[in-house]
Amino acid sequence: MICFKHPEKDAIGTCKYCHRGICMDCTTDLEHGLACKGVHEEYVNTLHNIVMQSAKIYSNTPKTIYAAPVFFGFMGLVFLWFGLVNGDGLTDFATLLGFGFVGFAIYILIYNKKVYSAKKDIISDLR
């Protein structure tokens, strides 16, 4: 890769904002990444701050991804119990509702895990 401003020079990396190759003379090293000197430092810093902020929120509360699934799963079991034990069994409305809730809980759990691991990848990329 070569510098986008200096075709005769090798790039030492790419700007985190515009992703163009930049040489030693065109680069500002911001510790967390490289930026075009005098042009994209602000953008890269802002980008970094936003990501780090959401990273902090996520690492502080990783358990929240289980809160909703546990809640809906519990509701589902309560309805299943009502339908099967006190109601008409499998065809009871409460039973159907219970299955719905349990299915929904599993769906949220899978979805949350996906989002969480995607976020983790982004964060480890930036480090």
- Nearer CB in complex with Zn ion: 34/80: 34
DSSP state, residue 36: E
Retrieve residue 105's tokens: 């809980």
Site string (5-44) toward Zn ion, x via CB under 5 A = xx--------x-xx----x-xx---------x---x----
β pairing state of 27-29 and 34-36: antiparallel
- Nearer CB in complex with Zn ion: 36/102: 36
Per the CB < 8 A criterion, the answer to whether 26 and 3 are in contact is yes
- Does position 48 interact with Zn ion (CB under 5 A)? The reply is no
Retrieve residue 84's tokens: 């099967």
Contacting residues toward Zn ion, per CB under 5 A? 3, 5-6, 15, 17-18, 23, 25-26, 36, 40
